[in-house]
Structure 1
Amino acid sequence: MHAIRLHAFGPADNLRHEEVEDPVPGPGQVRIKVAAAGVHLLDTAIREGLRGPLPELPALPTVPGREVAGTVDALGPDTDDSWLGKRVVAHLGFAPGGYAELAVTGTERLHEVPANLDFAQAVAMIGTGRTAMGIVQFAEPGPDDVVVIPAAAGGIGTLLVQYAKNAGATVVGLAGGPEKTARVQANGADLAVDYTESDWPEKVRAWLGGRPATIVFDGVGGDAARASVALLGPAGRHIVFGWSGAGLRDGSPYLVEGVSEEVLGPVMMRKAGGDNPVRTLELRALAEAAAGRLVPAVQRFPLAEAAAAHRALENRGTTGKVVLEP
């Protein structure tokens, strides 16, 4: 099979498209003929040699990627025969191996792909969708809310706009440049604003006519977060799930005591509760997509162009979930 391998931590050009041995599923595992593999901003940090939330960096050489969808083409010993030939999607957890034509994982991680979703959309929901469902647990919007969403053209932002609109909220989506703001508007935001323009907060205030924002869903940090929080009323909530605008290497979130709440991975899982909170959020995300209530935005790259996908993601040149297709 062909796969993307990383032999040394560093720039995107270190990602190499190579021929490697086919993986063999072990007991209780399946092998997936990959049709779509998700690319996450965390992947770019790991590629540089930054551990992030992982317990340790992967041993080199490694095949990056932790989200895959495709068709089960082989079973390991003691694996239920009914999985063979099924359309599935899985988050591989801390184990890499997604940027490849074939990937192996345990059956406990599998979900059947709803009939009305393609593989790229399923990948978007198993990772990005799961995160979006984790975020809204902390501030479920309703008809009385004004929701501000920085990076509203991104994978998570796209879903948060849709979710808030489905709940009846007034949604202000922020994005960089006219092309992205047009996408945000088309996605259903009541107001789409270019946050690269210095007077964007004044434009939002004028459009709201004195009505304060009540929720900011913030995965950006930095100046955009600071200005967004300033739009909140006295009882407003600032839900922080990342700070991509400040940089993954040495950034930090913008936090205001009594207003901001960090809801990164472990906090989301505790909130979801149950025996398997990760799976709870994955099931909710897939159900929302299957019902047509959430439609993920996807930007596709050929598997061989993984380096280009990483560069585009790092340079904010993408919209929606970035997916590699073998």
Structure 2
Amino acid sequence: MHAIRLHTFGPAENLTYEKTDDPDPGPGQVRITVRAAGVHLLDTALREGIQGPAPAPVELPTIPGREVAGVVDALGEGTDAQWLGKRVVTHLGFAPGGYAELAVVDAARLQEIPEGLDEAGAVALIGTGRTAMGIVQFADLDKDSVAVIPAAAGGLGTFLVQYAKSKGATVIGLAGGERKAALVRENGADLAVDYLDPQWPAAVREFLGPDRPATVVFDGVGGETGRAAVGLLGEGGKHVVFGWTESGLGGGPIDFADGELAARGVESVTTLGPAMMQKAGGDNPVRTLENRALALAAEGVLRPAVTRFPLAEAAAAHRALQERGTVGKVVLEP
């Protein structure tokens, strides 16, 4: 098979397209003919040698990638024969191997792809979609809600906009540049503003009117953009934090002064770590969130936006993602 391999930590150019041995599924596993592999910002960090949340250091050489969709073409010993030939999507966890024509995974991790959803869209849902479902647990959205969503043109932002609109909320989407803002409007946002314009908070206030503040900010960027978004919240508002960026529209986590939010009656909730899983509940919280995302996609509530690259151009995909030159979920297609 062909795969993307990383032999040395460093820039995107270190990702090389090579021919390597086909993997064989072990007991309880399946092999998937990959039709789509997800690219995540965490992948770019691991490529650079930044450990991140992975439980063990990445061993080189490696085939990156943790989200794949395709068709099961081989079964390991003891694996249920029903999976053979099925269209499936799976998150590999922290095991690498996604950027390849073939991938092996435990059958227990598989989800069947709903009819009408293509493999690239399924990849967007299995990781990014389930994260969106975890985040929205922390906000009670309804027709009286006003949700502000930074990075609304990204894979996660796309789902947050769609979900909030499905609950009847007024949605304000932030995006970098008019092209992305236009896509956010097409996705259903009531107002899409270009965060590169320093006057964007005034545009939001003018749209909402003097007596209608934001009720929730879904913040995955932090920095000055996140702080300005939090400034739009009224009393009783909620700042839902699920990450931050170190550059671009972000700038790291927001450093609020002691009592700053409490004085305004604003609650800050961090969804990172075990909080999201505890909120999801069930015997397998990860699968609970995956099921919700896939079910909402089958209903037409969640509609994945995808930027596609050929597998051989993984380096270009990494560069584009880091330079914010993509919209929706970035996907590699063998």
TM-score with structure 1 setting the length? 0.97
Q: How does 1:176-187 map to 2 (within 5 A)?
A: 176-187=176-187
Q: How much has 1:92 moved relative to structure 2? A: 0.3
* Amino acid paired to 1:89: V
Distance 1:312 1:148 in 2: 25
**Residue 243 (1) aligns with residue 215 (2):** no
* Amino acid paired to 1:313: L
Q: How much has 1:246 moved relative to structure 2? A: 4.2
SS in structure 1 of the partner of residue 72 of structure 2: strand
The answer on whether the counterparts of 1:240 and 1:253 sit within 8 Å (CA) in structure 2 is no
**Residue 154 (1) aligns with residue 117 (2):** no
Distance 2:320 2:273 in 1: 25
Aligned counterpart, 1:165? 165
Cα deviations across residues 235-268 of structure 1 (Å, max 9, x unaligned)?
1101011102548xx9632254553211114221
Q: How much has 1:149 moved relative to structure 2? A: 0.2
Q: How much has 1:222 moved relative to structure 2? A: 0.8
Aligned counterpart, 1:5? 5
* Amino acid paired to 1:264: L
Distance 1:265 1:130 in 2: 14
SS in structure 2 of the partner of residue 252 of structure 1: coil
SS in structure 2 of the partner of residue 88 of structure 1: strand
1:292 corresponds to which of 300, 304, 307: 300
Question: Which structure 2 residue ranges, 5 or more long, are not aligned?
Answer: none
Aligned counterpart, 1:63? 63
Q: How does 1:308-323 map to 2 (within 5 A)?
A: 308-323=316-331
Task: Identify the range of structure 1 (254-263 vs 175-184) with the bigger mean alpha-carbon deviation.
Answer: 254-263
**Residue 54 (1) aligns with residue 50 (2):** no
* Amino acid paired to 1:184: V
Distance 1:262 1:30 in 2: 36
SS in structure 2 of the partner of residue 57 of structure 1: coil
Cα deviations across residues 123-166 of structure 1 (Å, max 9, x unaligned)?
00001100000000001311111100000000010110010111
The answer on whether the counterparts of 2:38 and 2:329 sit within 8 Å (CA) in structure 1 is yes
Task: Identify the range of structure 1 (261-270 vs 80-89) with the bigger mean alpha-carbon deviation.
Answer: 261-270
Distance 1:145 1:10 in 2: 43
The answer on whether the counterparts of 2:221 and 2:251 sit within 8 Å (CA) in structure 1 is no
SS in structure 2 of the partner of residue 244 of structure 1: coil
Cα deviations across residues 164-189 of structure 1 (Å, max 9, x unaligned)?
11100000000000100000000000
SS in structure 1 of the partner of residue 218 of structure 2: strand
Do the aligned partners of residues 46 and 7 (structure 1) sit closer, same or farther apart at CA in structure 2, a change above 3 Å counting?
same
* Amino acid paired to 1:308: A
SS in structure 1 of the partner of residue 290 of structure 2: helix
Task: Identify the range of structure 1 (267-276 vs 97-106) with the bigger mean alpha-carbon deviation.
Answer: 267-276
Cα deviations across residues 26-67 of structure 1 (Å, max 9, x unaligned)?
000000000000000000001001111111221000000000
The answer on whether the counterparts of 2:221 and 2:252 sit within 8 Å (CA) in structure 1 is no
SS in structure 1 of the partner of residue 163 of structure 2: helix
Cα deviations across residues 208-233 of structure 1 (Å, max 9, x unaligned)?
11210000001111111010000000
SS in structure 2 of the partner of residue 188 of structure 1: coil
Q: How does 1:1-326 map to 2 (within 5 A)?
A: 1-210=1-210, 211-246=212-247, 252-254=252-254, 256=256, 257-258=261-262, 259-326=267-334
Q: How much has 1:271 moved relative to structure 2? A: 1.1
Distance 1:38 1:113 in 2: 15
Identity percentage of aligned residues: 70
Question: Which structure 1 residue ranges, 5 or more long, are not aligned?
Answer: none
* Amino acid paired to 1:165: K
SS in structure 2 of the partner of residue 125 of structure 1: helix
Distance 1:244 1:252 in 2: 5
Distance 2:273 2:50 in 1: 17
SS in structure 1 of the partner of residue 97 of structure 2: coil
Distance 1:194 1:18 in 2: 40
Distance 2:279 2:255 in 1: 20
The answer on whether the counterparts of 1:3 and 1:100 sit within 8 Å (CA) in structure 2 is yes
The answer on whether the counterparts of 1:69 and 1:90 sit within 8 Å (CA) in structure 2 is yes
Distance 1:12 1:199 in 2: 35
Distance 1:177 1:57 in 2: 37
The answer on whether the counterparts of 1:221 and 1:246 sit within 8 Å (CA) in structure 2 is no
Q: CA RMSD in A?
A: 1.3
